[in-house]
Structure 1
Amino acid sequence: MTEPICLVESSLRVNPAALALLRKVTGPLHVVGIFGPKGTGKSFLMDQLAEQKKGFGATPGIWMQLLPHPTKRDETLVLLDTEGLPEQMEEEEEEAFSRLFCLDVLLCSIFIYNTKCDGEPQTELDRLICVRELANKVRILEDCPSENSFLLSSILPEFVWCLRDVASDSVWEEILQTTNHNMDILLSPTADSEDTPANCIQRLFPSQKAFCFRSPHVDEYVRELFESHTPHPIFQKQLEAFKEYILSKGPKRCVNGEILSSRLEQFVAALSRNEPILLEAVLEGSEAAFTWEDYESFAEPIADFPGAAPERRETPGISLPSVWEPKSPLVSKHFLPPSWTFTSTAEANDMKEPMCFIENNPGKKLQVNQEALEILKNIQQPVVVVAIVGLYRTGKSYLMNRLAGKNKGGFSLGATVQANTKGIWMWCRPHPLRPDHTLVLLDTEGLGDVEKSNPENDSWIFALSVLLCSTFVYNSMGTINHYALEQLHFVTELTEHIKVKASAKKSCEREDRISDAFAWFFPTFVWVVRDFVLQLELEDGRSITEDEYLENSLQRRKDTTEKQDLPKKYLRQYFPVRKCFVFDCPAPRKKLKNLEDLPESELSPEFLEQARSFCHYIFENAQAKVVQGGRLVTGAFLGKLAETYVDAIRRGAVPCVENAVLVLAQTENSAAVGDAMLRYEAMVDLLLTLPTEDMAELLEVHARCEEEAIQVFMDRAFKDEGQEHQRKLMNQLRLKLEELCHWNEQASWDRCQAVLTELFQQLEDKIASGNYSVPGGYQQFMEDQQQIVTMYHMVPEKGLRASEALQEFLKSKETAAKSILQADQNLTNKQKEIEAEKARAEASKQEAELQRRLQQQTEQMAREKERSFEEHKRQLMAKMEEDRMKLIADHEKILSQRIQEQSRLQKEGFHQEVSRLQGEIQSLRASISQNRSSGPTCVIS
């Protein structure tokens, strides 16, 4: 592409032709956007970057130019020139420019603000009032408005301020050079209002630079240089330094032409509805480290755009989302996965050693380790999360190392009375029995360490472990006795540290009901008793199992105090699924300090067998993590859950399961829409060749691709309240169909015009040579034209506008035909009138046929709309039915557990709690009955 083209009109309409050009670019993009007041020479700077004398001019809206990068052959330079700000703006104009500014900033990888220097520099910066609305118009997470500015700063481009026509005696240029073009030098230190443009820029943009330019023509050179249009040498030097800096920056990460165009459409749609742009689905891709070398399996050269495809290089492999399997028949050369990182899934779920996941640093609040989040982000498999909690120095880490398949070099064991593990550590390993799952092991900081700087975080560590895992291991020493149960006082505090529902209130009346709800999502509870010294038998000598030992230990007695009874009560109430393992001492005491280095031959055979039994149980029975709504948790999802819960704790709030799931559902459902559209577009690119011979062929392909896209959405989406995101998918698919129809018609028209031009060329030559300006010429002309029309009908693949194109083309030849007819001396006036009437009748016939086809297409589109709705409804009803059956199964599972607990409480004499449980049992039975009798109701419309 050599000429600029309008990308976004001032009215916020996206130009389809510009989008089509952008989508062709499969290589990485270096996007440079410019913004500023009118008359400051923005277009001149863009032309300089494009190395052209004149390209950009008057630019209402946002104009785009695509060029091969002058210094980086694998990249494409995208220049965005934006309409200039007027001196005075009405409120309506201010809003329009604010939207254009917002789009410019979000699209580019480096943003230029261009002004003149008529006075103090900060005065010119204060004209950029649009920046004050940026945090309102662009949101990262919908439910975290207070953190929005901070989050925005992580994704916005670098801010470069170009200050033009600086006086020749100014020292700013020298100062900027010595400070590496630090923009702060141009700002007044007294500007302390948070709402000033300068402060907004410093708060929102991760980096700010400034460049000063002298006037291209200074006094002593005016006449001579004006006539030659040669800029002043100092200005030229400043310009070259600016160009070198701009072009040296890296590409926009994780983005090619298809992704950028798709995001632009989403941004414009939100702004047009006067809604904030939500970047939850885009943030992940924006933060990922981009490597174009890994794109070699997908990139294909575009013949008419040199430099668009990268060279092939030897690079490590990369794991892609399910819709982007390498060399899959569904892969399109025009599309790129929404997120791209150096770390593959294979690497992410096979960590060589553990790392800190949630940090508990001295004197600081809990914090999620970003490096651990990056690893989890690349695990798209369901995760089986096993967390271990217990007093410090009780051997928790050793057990987790056994689960990881490592006897050495894993979680830190330590050999002194000081605890080693701080916070929560994570180790991701391939699941030994389920190839499509990842085992995530969480080793926690030991509870009760008297040397802790943050002892109050013990309760939060305990609560976070429960919230994040699917199997919760409690590790203790000796026996399950009164002292061991006392150490589990954290379980009695869970209602203070976890909320199930946002609407739940802390009150005595509701405490039991709230705690009952925990059983719906709490993990399996495994109690591991280390250095067990008792015999597994009752007083009468009868042997019992480990599980029976645990249940006997949790038996409640009426004669115990409430404080002693609470741990038992809540363990049974919160964790209805329980398991127990007892372990002998692994080795003589003097050897325990070197336990990690001891060969198995020096370990107790009983201990080794017990360890193998424990690991086997975890591998066989530990389930994948699931959240409300039946959604399997992936590594990426687990990381987001951890962030959400820790963020609540840092704010002094209580983590709420319902809120966390709803927030993540919004993110996941938005991503599900994106996945569905990627699958649709890839399949269309594979199955559809434009132009199609009729509308039915296009609609058939669309229906197949839409069905697949909806299935992709349904597989990932969950808790889509009111089908909000499915409606978004419906609208996007409808727009894609309209776009396909448009391009199909355009392809047909272009094809037909090319065929007609070629076929009629000989006829045109004869007309120009006067071959038909002879007696009988009209008859010969009509015969020749009819022969060409016959040949035209024989040409294949002209598409559905073949008749329309022919009609229009013949209409364009009517003047020439009439001239030949009037000039033909062999025909009488009457015959000429008859021939003219025949031509008009033929034209009317063709027009009627065209109208019939248009009506037929309208009817086809109406039927297609109805079919599409029914397909969405069918798949939604199937998913709702599946969810209904899962809910019934969950209810029946809880019902069975509640009946067992009621029976135990009856035997133990806790009649008041038996009555309470009876009410819950009746409610569960009623819910099961209602769900069985009433099927799902479709709410989509």
Structure 2
Amino acid sequence: MSKPVCLVDPCLRVNPEALSLLRRLSGPLCVVAIFGPKGTGKSFLLDQLAGQEKGFGSAPGIWLQRLPHPTKPNENLLLLDTEGVPEQMEEEEYEFFSRLFCLNVLLCDLFIYNTKGDEDPQKELDKLAYVAELDNKVQVLEDCALENSFPLSAVLPPFVWCLRDVASDTVWEEMLQASNHEIDVLLTSLAEDTPSSCVQKLFPSHKAFCFHSPHLNEIEKEALLDEPHPVFQRQLKVFKSYVLSKTQNRNISGEVLSEKLEQFVEALSRNRPILLDIICGGLQAASASVDYSFYLECENYEEFVETTRELPKEEIPRTSHPSVWEPMVPQNPRTSPTTAQANDMEAPICLIENRPGEKLGVNQEALEILQKIKQPVVVVAIVGLYRTGKSYLMNKLAGKDQGGFSLGATIQANTKGIWMWCRPHPLKPDHTLVLLDTEGLGDVEKSNTENDSWIFALSVLLSSTFVYNSMSTINHYALEQMHYVTELTEHIKMKTPNRNRSKSDDGFPDQFASFFPTFIWVVRDFTLQLALQDGRRIIEDEYLENALERKTDAPEKQDLPKKCLREYFPNRKCFVFDRPASRHDLQFLEHLPESKLSPEFVEQARRFCNYIYENAQAKVIQGGHVVTGSSLGSLAESYTEAIRRGSIPCIENAVLALAQIENSAAVHEAVQRYEAMADLMLMMPTEDVEELLRVHSSCEEEAIQVFMNRSFKDEGQAFQRQLGNQLQSKLKELCRRNEQASSDRCQAVLMELFQDMEGKICDGSYSVRGGYQQFLNDQQNVVENYNMVAEKGLMAAKVLQDFLQAKEMVAQSILQTDQNLTEKQKETEVAKARAEASEREAQLQREMKEKTQRMAQEMERSYEEHERYLMAKMEEDKRNLLAEQERLLNQKLQEQSRLQQEGFHHEYSRLQGEIQNLRSQISQTRQEPTCLIF
């Protein structure tokens, strides 16, 4: 957790140190901002959210603190604390706070307005006059209608109103709880143009929370050792849970946030409106954003709107991919692809480097981008001869008509190695589309042509959809160029060689089909009619299958590519494209507007893109495990490193290495989730062990679910056992902390209650006749008052016993000096004290035994919980394996039928053996019981 740092100073300048901190943040950001009058305890409330005693101060400006998000692993929680607004101020001061307010609501994901409680709460909300000025400081433009402002509420965060130090006898908290904390119940009037009505109108969500004073009186403040009052803690827990659940990151990185901040401050300093651009229909996926240099040529916002109104829509200056949150100020032209979110790169970046005279290598910057992508990835790779228009097609998939993958307009190839472009999936919000554009095959100017086969093999290994791009027709020449597919067994192996396995088990063609991606053959500049010799029209898929039809008398050179394509890629698809434009215009293809392109080509490109968006599946590996961006990076590194060592990339080895990485990360992520939930749910000290175990059970269940969602191939459940051991350690740590919190609380209460007796002992008040009985009476009063104090925790009896034992010597001393008692009476009193101590000790032993038994039961429950999740996962894995085996069986049956029709009887018989073997495997999988070794 970092210390707070000034973000915006009193002169409305951005602090370079804070910008540097933001730019170093790698994960997504969730931003919470607080604003309100001076002296309302804003900083204290943020410190409570951050789980710290003292962090934010009362310094002027806006201050920033970063900490890990308590409930969302791999995300950052940013807290923005703004100096308190004074009651009386000059006009310049008012404008300054108005700008701070504007910055807060634009930068954050959740905005908190903090005020003191009042007899009329609406008066407090109506003090927020700045909200009525937002329309003047911020202009939101709709992408498809620049002449109209889009509702400002589309870009503002949820609004939370905190009423502090509310008197305990008010019913506001009950009213808010009954209405799910809706602001409306506290407002008596919603007159037009008041701050209250503006809050209701502008902010998409608005809630209110009441807080009693953290310390109701000085005695409790001292007794609690400066901890907030339990009522305040309960209210804070509800508030904190709501805040953390509402902080949804907008895929804004620290780099992007720092740029936005500078742009917003610049606009406010120049008294210009901040212009935001969003797409038509609301804040959805990104489309196109305004070219800012065009805006700068205009003197003001009105001139900009007037100028753009006069232009046809397609001529309004645009770049290709908008941010839904983009101010109209200049961008840095040197911005790298990594300045945007990892799954929304501004431009492609090289993933696999192929430098002249060197071995293939992985670009570390690209790996860092992939490591940040925790979503499943749909990986589309394209290969083909150089100068066949591969990059143009990939740019269309990226939704970018200009820029993107380099096209080039000469006979020389542009792309070297494999380039990567990560984009948000247009139809699957929880997926990332990863586009891989490869260097052209067969470039005569290459100095290391042997890498062509490795580029082809890597594209197959990394993709879930593999596009082969060729020109003109699928003929003998085109199939000859597919010799790379016949070499795949020389560049890829399924398993590590094993003497105990048969040759067919080590990864031959029948095994590849279950792992290889969907194959799409794209034929460019296609001029033939899609028809057979008899004139019957066919579709593109039939054209491909006819081209792959095998002849028994065909030369092996012609037959082998067909055979390999059919065996390795049973899932096949074909698209044909007309020439996009005239030969003269082709060299300017990247800059041609759609109106200059062939209508047939435009429609074919649209069909191709829609097919990919709708049908291309996420990348999966053996066992049906879905690959994320970080997993894809690990696979790329593993395969490329094998090639660099002179080895053949082994799928089994890469998957096992990935399993080690992912399972270790799954354990770490699960433990983090457990800790975050425990911190949020557990209010220490608990009154008994049952409450703590209930929290542990809920947190453990969530942690196991997190682990199961990410882990795979956990052989022998080694990592799940590791997780179980760590969670048991966390439980013991929680118990220790809970006991310590209870002990500290109880000792503080006893010290406070025993203070008067301590004074009497010191001044000899008990060293008189009858003093012992007075001591016993006072001590009994202390015990009774102690027992009446709430929320002492489960160590209450133990601490009391230890405390009384510590005072036993004092009691005996007073007893012996009491001349009012005979020796016999003194002996009786000593025996009585010992008996009471013995009874208390016996009660403690019973409680300890019950606690030990309960912990043993919890261990058994925990084991059963792990077993239940493991059984469910194993059953799911079994279903996935059966589905994969049955899919492969159907594909082999179809190929067998086709081989019989074509007259390949020898291959038909071979395939019959594979089919029988696969049917046996399916039968064995169905009958095999789910066995646990956990």
**Same fold? TM cut 0.5:** yes
CA distance, structure 2, for counterparts of residue 501 and residue 552 of structure 1: 33
Question: Do 1:905 and 1:914's aligned partners in 2 also have CA atoms closer than 8 Å?
Answer: yes
- Correspondence for 1:395: 389
Question: Do 1:679 and 1:709's aligned partners in 2 also have CA atoms closer than 8 Å?
Answer: yes
Distance 1:896 1:848, change over 3 A: same
CA distance, structure 2, for counterparts of residue 451 and residue 679 of structure 1: 54
Question: Do 2:72 and 2:673's aligned partners in 1 also have CA atoms closer than 8 Å?
Answer: no
- Correspondence for 1:836: 830
SS, match of residue 341 in structure 2? helix
For 2:657, the aligned partner's letter is: V
SS, match of residue 646 in structure 1? helix
Task: Pick from 24, 27, 39 the counterpart of residue 2 of structure 2.
Answer: 27
Measured after TM superposition, the shift of residue 918 of structure 1 is 1.4
- Correspondence for 1:847: 841
- Correspondence for 1:635: 629
SS, match of residue 347 in structure 1? coil
Question: Do 1:324 and 1:331's aligned partners in 2 also have CA atoms closer than 8 Å?
Answer: no
- Correspondence for 2:425: 431
Distance 1:309 1:721, change over 3 A: farther
- Correspondence for 1:329: 241
CA distance, structure 1, for counterparts of residue 58 and residue 418 of structure 2: 44
Per mean C-alpha deviation after superposition, the further-off stretch among 508-517 and 426-435 is 508-517
SS, match of residue 691 in structure 1? coil
- Correspondence for 1:621: 615
SS, match of residue 588 in structure 2? helix
- 1:607 and 2:601 equivalent? yes
CA distance, structure 1, for counterparts of residue 784 and residue 68 of structure 2: 54
Cα shift readout 1:337-395 (whole Å, capped 9, x = no counterpart): 9xx97579962222222222211111111111222222222222111111111111111
Q: How many residues align?
A: 661
SS, match of residue 772 in structure 1? coil
- Correspondence for 1:868: 862
Measured after TM superposition, the shift of residue 902 of structure 1 is 0.6
Question: Do 1:319 and 1:346's aligned partners in 2 also have CA atoms closer than 8 Å?
Answer: no
For 2:642, the aligned partner's letter is: A
Question: Do 2:417 and 2:439's aligned partners in 1 also have CA atoms closer than 8 Å?
Answer: yes
Question: Do 1:330 and 1:686's aligned partners in 2 also have CA atoms closer than 8 Å?
Answer: no
CA distance, structure 1, for counterparts of residue 704 and residue 812 of structure 2: 56
Distance 1:754 1:509, change over 3 A: closer
CA distance, structure 1, for counterparts of residue 349 and residue 484 of structure 2: 25
Question: Do 2:27 and 2:74's aligned partners in 1 also have CA atoms closer than 8 Å?
Answer: no
For 1:543, the aligned partner's letter is: R
Distance 1:570 1:322, change over 3 A: farther
TM-score (norm 1): 0.66
Task: Pick from 441, 444, 450 the counterpart of residue 450 of structure 1.
Answer: 444
Unaligned runs of 5+ in 1: 1-25, 29-67, 75-249, 256-287
TM-score (norm 2): 0.67
* Pairing of 1:123-134 with structure 2 (within 5 A): none
Measured after TM superposition, the shift of residue 312 of structure 1 is 5.1
CA distance, structure 1, for counterparts of residue 6 and residue 405 of structure 2: 46
Task: Pick from 924, 929, 933 the counterpart of residue 918 of structure 2.
Answer: 924
CA distance, structure 2, for counterparts of residue 422 and residue 533 of structure 1: 30
* Pairing of 1:461-480 with structure 2 (within 5 A): 461-480=455-474
- 1:939 and 2:933 equivalent? yes
- 1:856 and 2:850 equivalent? yes
Question: Do 2:667 and 2:707's aligned partners in 1 also have CA atoms closer than 8 Å?
Answer: yes
Distance 1:332 1:728, change over 3 A: farther
Distance 1:371 1:319, change over 3 A: farther
Measured after TM superposition, the shift of residue 523 of structure 1 is 0.4
SS, match of residue 435 in structure 2? strand
Measured after TM superposition, the shift of residue 455 of structure 1 is 0.4
* Pairing of 1:113-128 with structure 2 (within 5 A): none
For 1:379, the aligned partner's letter is: I
CA distance, structure 1, for counterparts of residue 461 and residue 911 of structure 2: 25
- 1:791 and 2:766 equivalent? no
Measured after TM superposition, the shift of residue 436 of structure 1 is 1.2
- 1:906 and 2:900 equivalent? yes
Distance 1:642 1:505, change over 3 A: farther
Measured after TM superposition, the shift of residue 773 of structure 1 is 2.3
SS, match of residue 348 in structure 1? coil
Distance 1:492 1:254, change over 3 A: farther
CA distance, structure 2, for counterparts of residue 369 and residue 931 of structure 1: 41
Question: Do 1:752 and 1:805's aligned partners in 2 also have CA atoms closer than 8 Å?
Answer: yes
CA distance, structure 2, for counterparts of residue 422 and residue 457 of structure 1: 11
CA distance, structure 2, for counterparts of residue 308 and residue 933 of structure 1: 67
Task: Pick from 646, 660, 678 the counterpart of residue 654 of structure 2.
Answer: 660
Task: Pick from 430, 434, 444 the counterpart of residue 440 of structure 1.
Answer: 434
* Pairing of 1:307-318 with structure 2 (within 5 A): 313=63
Measured after TM superposition, the shift of residue 933 of structure 1 is 2.7
For 1:27, the aligned partner's letter is: S
Question: Do 1:693 and 1:798's aligned partners in 2 also have CA atoms closer than 8 Å?
Answer: yes
Measured after TM superposition, the shift of residue 484 of structure 1 is 0.5
Cα shift readout 1:123-169 (whole Å, capped 9, x = no counterpart): xxxxxxxxxxxxxxxxxxxxxxxxxxxxxxxxxxxxxxxxxxxxxxx
CA distance, structure 1, for counterparts of residue 525 and residue 557 of structure 2: 27
Question: Do 1:332 and 1:686's aligned partners in 2 also have CA atoms closer than 8 Å?
Answer: no
- Correspondence for 1:352: 346
For 2:711, the aligned partner's letter is: A
SS, match of residue 405 in structure 1? coil
For 1:762, the aligned partner's letter is: D
Cα shift readout 1:633-656 (whole Å, capped 9, x = no counterpart): 122221221111111111111111
Measured after TM superposition, the shift of residue 508 of structure 1 is 11
CA distance, structure 1, for counterparts of residue 682 and residue 70 of structure 2: 24
CA distance, structure 2, for counterparts of residue 320 and residue 597 of structure 1: 48
SS, match of residue 681 in structure 1? helix
Task: Pick from 574, 582, 591 the counterpart of residue 588 of structure 1.
Answer: 582
Cα shift readout 1:832-888 (whole Å, capped 9, x = no counterpart): 222221111111111110110111111011101101100011111111111111111
- Correspondence for 1:802: 796
CA distance, structure 2, for counterparts of residue 610 and residue 296 of structure 1: 44
* Pairing of 1:547-562 with structure 2 (within 5 A): 547-562=541-556
Cα shift readout 1:185-238 (whole Å, capped 9, x = no counterpart): xxxxxxxxxxxxxxxxxxxxxxxxxxxxxxxxxxxxxxxxxxxxxxxxxxxxxx
- Correspondence for 1:570: 564
Distance 1:519 1:504, change over 3 A: farther
SS, match of residue 927 in structure 1? helix
* Pairing of 1:880-895 with structure 2 (within 5 A): 880-895=874-889
CA distance, structure 2, for counterparts of residue 599 and residue 414 of structure 1: 17
- Correspondence for 1:404: 398
For 1:365, the aligned partner's letter is: K
Distance 1:316 1:543, change over 3 A: farther
Measured after TM superposition, the shift of residue 526 of structure 1 is 0.2
Distance 1:866 1:308, change over 3 A: farther
SS, match of residue 842 in structure 1? helix
CA distance, structure 1, for counterparts of residue 71 and residue 642 of structure 2: 30
Question: Do 1:321 and 1:380's aligned partners in 2 also have CA atoms closer than 8 Å?
Answer: no
Q: Percent identity?
A: 64
Question: Do 1:760 and 1:788's aligned partners in 2 also have CA atoms closer than 8 Å?
Answer: yes
CA distance, structure 1, for counterparts of residue 417 and residue 507 of structure 2: 31
- Correspondence for 1:366: 360
Question: Do 1:576 and 1:897's aligned partners in 2 also have CA atoms closer than 8 Å?
Answer: yes
Task: Pick from 634, 638, 651 the counterpart of residue 645 of structure 2.
Answer: 651
Unaligned runs of 5+ in 2: 8-16, 33-45, 78-109, 111-239, 257-337
CA distance, structure 2, for counterparts of residue 479 and residue 506 of structure 1: 46
Cα shift readout 1:513-549 (whole Å, capped 9, x = no counterpart): 6121111110000001111122111111111111111
Distance 1:562 1:545, change over 3 A: same
Question: Do 1:294 and 1:316's aligned partners in 2 also have CA atoms closer than 8 Å?
Answer: no
